[in-house]
Homo-oligomer: A and B are copies of this chain.
Amino acid sequence: LGARLTIALDAMGGDHAPEIVVAGAAIAQRRFPDVHFLMFGDERRIGRLIDAEAGLRAATTVRHTELAVSADDRPSVALRQGRNTSMQLSINAVRDGDAAGVVSAGNTGALMAMSKVSIKTLPGIDRPAIAAFFPTLVGESVMLDLGANVECDVHNLVQFAMLGAAFARSVLGLERPTVGLVNVGAEEAKGREPVKQAAAILREGSPYFGFHGFVEGNDIANGTVDVFVVDGFTGNITLKSIEGTVKLYTEYLRQTFKSSLTTRLAFLLARRAFKKMRARLDPRRYNGATFLGLNGIVVKSHGGTDAFGFANAIGVAVDMTANGFNDILTRELASFAAEQPTKARAAVS
């Protein structure tokens, strides 16, 4: 990591802000000693919290603002009236080159709207997508879009494939990730029109990823591909369904272990192993959804996460910055547009 790596933090965003933001920064600071934080928020509240964390003060610059975007604000309202909020100011820090990336646990819609207006999308990208990685049977995969775009056309889906592949390379360290389009069947004739059209373009091939073809819902947990491309409506509902199912199973497990003296004893015996298993599925480990396709790095933390989860979201921003994610992506987008036949060129223009 370069010594000049600065991450802007929206200190007032999220259900438990600013406490978990500062505590998360402290955890991240121990993990990445070269990172500097630019924290936006209420100085009186943040200052005391920073001083309570050993070593954090030296790694942090605080920029005071009393205004914050609230969880219920409509994105359009936040955009118009939120000029001096901690969220907008921390995004502007990326735009102005004062920070390499920004992390916020605040209102997702507002963060996306402000980012689009302030940082703008990359050349060749019509709309940014929300991406995150998650555990599979064989490791970890990336899925996008997770809710930024409820309607997606063929161009959006093709662009998401490129964005997701670059993200998988950067954060998961994969040389040439595999990409699948989520659909209702593996056969060419099945599914929605934009999905079928996107497949036709992606089948032409790319030097940056391998196109697997269509994948189905069960392929997600199987980890059939490294990158799952889907529209934001389906992606959002799928992701939350998976989270809900993990909670359901965990609750069944809890009830099972509590059902008799024998099962309680069994739990005591297996406790350490179960702790490890739970850690593999811990949503905090996978905290940090990225807004891909912007002219800068924007990471959204889950609003209800704790310090450990927020530190992981900071980790995603640090990884992307350290690996020069946006430079690599910009180069790939340009070369994709130049190399591919007419259809593909149409898709990214």
Chain A residues engaging chain B, CB cutoff 8 angstroms: 74, 135-137, 147, 150-151, 182-184, 189-192, 216-222, 230, 232-234, 236-249, 251-253, 255-257, 259-260, 262-263, 265-267, 269-270, 273-274, 276-277, 280-281
Contacts and interface: CB of A to CB of B under 8 A. Distances in A.
A240 B222 CA distance: 11
Nearest to A223: B248
A240 B241 CA distance: 10
B244 A246 contact: no
Given A217-B244, A236-B184, A238-B238, A280 B252 contact: yes
A249 B247 contact: no
A317 to B, nearest CB: 24
A217 B192 contact: no
B221 A241 contact: yes
B253 A277 contact: yes
A263 B253 contact: no
A193 to B, nearest CB: 8
30 contacts: A137-B248, A150-B190, A150-B191, A151-B192, A191-B233, A216-B236, A216-B237, A216-B240, A217-B238, A217-B240, A217-B241, A217-B244, A218-B241, A218-B244, A219-B244, A220-B245, A221-B241, A221-B245, A233-B234, A234-B238, A238-B241, A245-B246, A249-B249, A249-B281, A252-B277, A256-B273, A259-B276, A262-B273, A263-B273, A265-B266
Contacts of A262: 269-270, 273
A227 to B, nearest CB: 16
Contact of A184 (B221, B230, B237, B248): B237
B256 A244 contact: no
A267 B150 CA distance: 44
Given A220-B241, A243-B217, A244-B221, A233 B192 contact: yes
B273 A184 contact: no
A150 B184 contact: yes
A260 B276 CA distance: 13
A243 to B, nearest CB: 6
Across the A-B interface, the 3 shortest Cβ-Cβ residue pairs = A217-B240, A221-B244, A218-B244
B221 A182 contact: no
Contacts of A280: 252
Nearest to A259: B273
A290 to B, nearest CB: 18
B256 A274 contact: yes
Contacts of A136: 248
B277 A256 contact: yes
Given A136-B248, A218-B240, 8 more contacts: A184-B232, A217-B239, A220-B241, A249-B249, A253-B253, A256-B276, A262-B270, A266-B269
Nearest to A236: B184
A333 B244 CA distance: 33
Contacts of A270: 256-257, 262-263, 266-267
A131 to B, nearest CB: 16
A265 B256 contact: no
A66 to B, nearest CB: 26
Given A221-B247, A248-B221, A251-B137, A189 B74 contact: yes
